[in-house]
Structure 1
């Protein structure tokens, strides 16, 4: 009987030091299947990733904090032509005050220009109608907040930079909050200066009365929206208060 050579290679050498015989794969059948699946999955485009990211951003924006949401306000202060005219006419004093405000430096110049902006924004809002009206109302509130921010900076150049930066960022979203904070800063500064500068006491007393009257009219305008000319009266009280503040810049 002759010895027949086994065509299969010896299993003892297979795999030693990386030896591989032709016709045999380094990987098992299972590994080959896994590799082909991975290759096919990675080669396919990742559909829907962009839309998922957009959806995530939309959800985050919808659940943003209240301080980053736009204000909601009443739009019923121009019920007839007569009230609209009164509101526009009583907006003009802010432009006059802005033109008369001393411009000693950059901060006072910015404040003066912001007062002019208040008068213009208010006039545009009260003459507007339709869908545009709510956007101009937002611009009106934002311009008022800008003027209070500029005034506190003009009176106190040492205001914390973080406060000023945060107020600037919040202006488009929470103008009423920015107005309240910087009006408070202005009131404290006015009271301190009036206590040490006798020539400011009369202006400060007038300012306190106009501020109380303006606050009462502002609340009444919101509580009694059907009462005509309350908003125009608030304009006049606010203009008087602004005029007394300008005494500190002289």
Structure 2
């Protein structure tokens, strides 16, 4: 016979050997005996899903450095005069892109990429705040894309594996992509200058502008507080790009 009076547990609490148990405990026992316990909460599907997510995150964090985004330098444009100079010296790339030969798809892609270089550079140098680091990345990436397109326009027989790998690495390592394809372009320019005497003057000018541009690039990196170094590098690079257009004519 069950005890229905709610006051009875308090009466029985003092008796030796008597343990008072709440009714909720009886309900829990009944649930266990009658299958009311939800066993799906203890299955391995949830644990497996969490483990897979952690594994993917660990693999992504341990990816090689070539697949990690570059750390862009955001120095420069310390005052309005330097910003104006950097934006104005970005305009020649747009002009060169509009004037570049467009005989086929590859040369058209290169010409459009030059326009993109000028636009990305202008947007970066005129930007401020949090968006600046993203525009810096876009600036580097557009330069790398232009070097990739120029390499393709000059040599259609480039290895497909190299072009595919360069395209894959473009968002992560634009500086490395730029270095590889700029080197390929320099080799092609030197070879064609030997074959065609008409290109030797352009090649000599290209060599001087490239050396000057490289020196200004490293000087800008080593002495970021020096004003107008970056604008000077823009001009030297624009001269070098203009001589490269001679190869496509």
TM-score bin, normalised by smaller chain: 0.7 to 0.9
Equivalent position of 1:214 in the other structure: 213
In the alignment, does 2:246 pair up with 1:236? no
Equivalent position of 1:5 in the other structure: none
In the alignment, does 2:247 pair up with 1:248? yes
List per-residue Cα deviations over 1:173-224 (Å, max 9, x = no partner): 0000000000000000000000010000000000000000000000000000
How far apart, CA to CA, are the structure 2 residues paired with 1:92 and 1:176? 22
Equivalent position of 2:72 in the other structure: 73
How far apart, CA to CA, are the structure 2 residues paired with 1:89 and 1:41? 66
Q: How do 1:55-134 and structure 2 match up within 5 A?
A: 55-134=54-133
Q: Report the TM-score, using the length of structure 1 for normalisation.
A: 0.82
Equivalent position of 2:141 in the other structure: 142
The Cα shift of 1:46 comes to 2.4
The Cα shift of 1:48 comes to 2.3
The Cα shift of 1:56 comes to 1.1
List per-residue Cα deviations over 1:124-166 (Å, max 9, x = no partner): 0001111100010000000000000000000000000000000
The Cα shift of 1:59 comes to 1.1
The Cα shift of 1:41 comes to 8.9
The Cα shift of 1:85 comes to 0.3
The Cα shift of 1:73 comes to 2.3
Unpaired runs of at least 5, structure 1: 1-39
How far apart, CA to CA, are the structure 1 residues paired with 2:231 and 2:41? 67
List per-residue Cα deviations over 1:31-78 (Å, max 9, x = no partner): xxxxxxxxx799835222222211111111111100001111211111
How far apart, CA to CA, are the structure 1 residues paired with 2:184 and 2:144? 13
Equivalent position of 1:153 in the other structure: 152
How far apart, CA to CA, are the structure 1 residues paired with 2:44 and 2:59? 26
Equivalent position of 2:30 in the other structure: none
How far apart, CA to CA, are the structure 1 residues paired with 2:185 and 2:177? 12
Q: Report the TM-score, using the length of structure 2 for normalisation.
A: 0.83
Count of residue pairs brought into register by the alignment: 211
How far apart, CA to CA, are the structure 2 residues paired with 1:84 and 1:219? 19
How far apart, CA to CA, are the structure 1 residues paired with 2:98 and 2:41? 67
Equivalent position of 1:226 in the other structure: 225
The Cα shift of 1:121 comes to 0.3
How far apart, CA to CA, are the structure 2 residues paired with 1:228 and 1:197? 40
Equivalent position of 1:26 in the other structure: none
Question: CA-atom RMSD, angstroms?
Answer: 1.4
CA gap of 1:88–1:42, structure 2 versus 1, over 3 A, is closer
Question: What SS is found at the alignment partner of 1:48?
Answer: helix
